[in-house]
């Protein structure tokens, strides 16, 4: 059957590493097979290295990045808890929605799309609501291409508020430092800078977050995402919870091996180099940056050139060049693009190819 083969330069999925696709062909094993459990343990170690944490509870949730987001909130929140959420894009909004559904009282700390959230404002919000159960922020806003600074939020660890960080688009692409940030619950996705197809959400919980999960007065509202139960499968008890998505876990295992083989520093530097090259060249073609500060190298947001037709241009890119870029969201829809250079797609060749195609289309 004919099947398109695209260069994936949207906001995710990116093109997976060849070793990842190869791993899908490994024979399926049972979820309690010792050979499979060895793979699962190795993934835990790999994720600790990539998240830069010693957290014991570090594992892939059996769902996409949004399932990881939900896992953090449903495990840490109980009804009427206060949740402070930084909002400067779609994924901050999504956090508010998820927290609301947990029955939380949500305090929004907003910043305009395209701008970062001043960490001091988040710290101030926590000081004003010291009983807040969690403070949540997106590290790399996929909807705007802006990085929110996390390091200054480490001070939260000295309070009763727990720090939740979304690293879906940052992990593997720019420095993520879970222990340095003293973060309590951090989640990511596989389909961005890790170079693995979508389907799993790596997460890590600090010891105090685990303690919180274990001492809840009500069970988490999600059985599927209940980390108290999942920990008993991933941990030494090996108690069956749900059937692990075996083949996707092989793929993640292989992708993390590629990433750690290259080295985190080298991967960050590669993402920085190709992203910078793209961002320096796009203005020559009439694109103007959407992100006004702290631009992510792995996700470039740009306004289209004057008079350019979003849909027509993206359709031509897709149908004539087999290149996918992402459209804008919110007020940015129809007027801007989000161009990802992530994982295996984060290569000099991707930049050359995209710029070449755009030059042909816009000339």
Residues of the shown chain interacting with a copy of itself in the complex, contacts defined by CB under 8 A: 3-6, 8, 10, 12-13, 15-16, 21, 24-31, 33, 35, 62-67, 70, 74, 94, 97-98, 100-102, 189, 191, 197-199, 219-224, 241-248, 251, 318, 324, 326
Instruction: Write down the least CB distance from residue 169 to a copy of itself, Å.
Output: 11
Tokens linked to 55: 């957290």
Q: Which residues contact 349 (CB under 8 A, 6 or more apart)?
A: none
Residue 26 or 48 with smaller CB distance to a copy of itself: 26
Which of 191, 199, 253 lies closest to 19 in space, CA to CA? Answer: 253
| Residue number with CB closer to a copy of itself (63 or 119) | 63
Helix (H, G, I), strand (E, B) or coil at 303: strand
Nearest residue (CB) to a copy of itself, 86 versus 119: 86
Cβ distance 227 to 57 under 8 Å? Answer: yes
Compute the least distance from the CB of residue 321 to a copy of itself, in Å.
14
Please identify, using beta-carbon distances, which residue of 121 and 312 lies nearer to a copy of itself.
312
Q: Is the Cβ of residue 79 or residue 180 nearer to a copy of itself in the bound state?
A: 79
Closer residue to a copy of itself, CB minimum distance, 207 or 319:
319
The whole-angstrom separation of Cα 269 and Cα 341 is 12
- At its nearest, how many Å lie between a copy of itself and the CB of residue 31? 7
Nearer to a copy of itself, 257 or 273 (CB): 257
Least Å distance, CB 311 to a copy of itself, is 12
For the stretch 138-162, what's the b/e string if a residue is b when 16 or more beta carbons lie within 10 angstroms of its beta carbon? bbbbbbbbbbbebeebbebeeeebb
Question: In Å, how far are 62, 102, 277 from 13, measured between CA atoms?
Answer: 17, 28, 21
User: Closest approach of Cβ 349 to a copy of itself, in Å?
Assistant: 16
Rama region for 182: left / alpha / beta (φ>0; ψ in -120 to 50; rest): left
Q: Is the peptide bond before 134 cis (omega within 30 degrees of 0)?
A: no
Q: Give the nearer residue to a copy of itself in terms of CB position, either 53 or 62.
A: 62
Q: How far is the CB of 116 from a copy of itself (least distance, A)?
A: 24
With beta carbons less than 8 A apart as the criterion, state whether 84 and 129 touch. yes
Q: Which residues contact 291 (CB under 8 A, 6 or more apart)?
A: 114, 144, 145, 146, 300, 301
Distance of closest approach, residue 178 Cβ to a copy of itself, in angstroms: 23
d(CA 59, CA 319): 38
Cα dihedral 70, 73, 74, 77, rounded to 10, equals -170
Q: How far is the CB of 161 from a copy of itself (least distance, A)?
A: 22
């Amino acid at each position: 059957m004919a099947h398109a083969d695209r260069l994936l330069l949207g906001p995710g999925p990116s093109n997976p590493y060849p070793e990842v696709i190869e791993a899908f062909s490994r024979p399926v094993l049972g979820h309690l097979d010792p050979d499979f459990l060895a793979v699962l343990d190795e993934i835990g170690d790999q994720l600790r290295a990539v998240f830069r944490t010693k957290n014991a509870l570090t594992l892939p949730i059996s769902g996409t990045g949004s399932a990881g987001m939900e896992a953090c909130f449903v495990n840490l929140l109980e009804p009427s808890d206060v949740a402070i959420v930084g909002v400067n894009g779609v994924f901050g909004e999504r956090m508010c929605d998820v927290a609301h559904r947990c029955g939380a009282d949500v305090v929004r700390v907003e910043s305009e799309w395209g701008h970062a959230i001043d960490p001091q404002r988040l710290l101030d919000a926590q000081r004003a609501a010291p009983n807040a159960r969690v403070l949540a922020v997106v590290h790399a806003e996929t909807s705007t291409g802006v990085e929110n600074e996390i390091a200054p939020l480490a001070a939260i660890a000295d309070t009763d508020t727990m720090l939740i960080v979304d690293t879906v688009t940052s992990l593997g692409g720019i420095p993520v430092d879970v222990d340095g940030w003293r973060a309590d619950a951090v989640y990511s996705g596989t389909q961005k800078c890790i170079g693995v197809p979508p389907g799993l959400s790596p997460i890590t919980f600090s010891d105090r977050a685990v303690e919180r999960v274990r001492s809840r007065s009500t069970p988490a509202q999600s059985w599927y995402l209940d980390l108290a139960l999942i920990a008993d499968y991933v941990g030494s008890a090996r108690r069956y919870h749900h059937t692990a998505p075996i083949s996707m876990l092989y793929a993640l295992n292989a992708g993390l091996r590629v990433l750690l083989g290259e080295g985190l520093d080298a991967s960050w530097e590669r993402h920085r180099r190709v992203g910078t090259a793209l961002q320096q060249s796009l203005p020559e073609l009439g694109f103007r940056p959407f992100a006004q500060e702290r631009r992510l190298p792995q996700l470039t947001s740009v306004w289209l050139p004057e008079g350019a037709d979003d849909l027509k241009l993206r359709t031509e890119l897709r149908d004539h060049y087999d290149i996918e870029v992402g459209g804008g969201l919110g007020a940015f829809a129809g007027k801007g693009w989000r161009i990802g250079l992530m994982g295996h797609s984060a290569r000099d060749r991707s930049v050359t190819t995209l710029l070449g195609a755009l030059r042909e289309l816009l000339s």
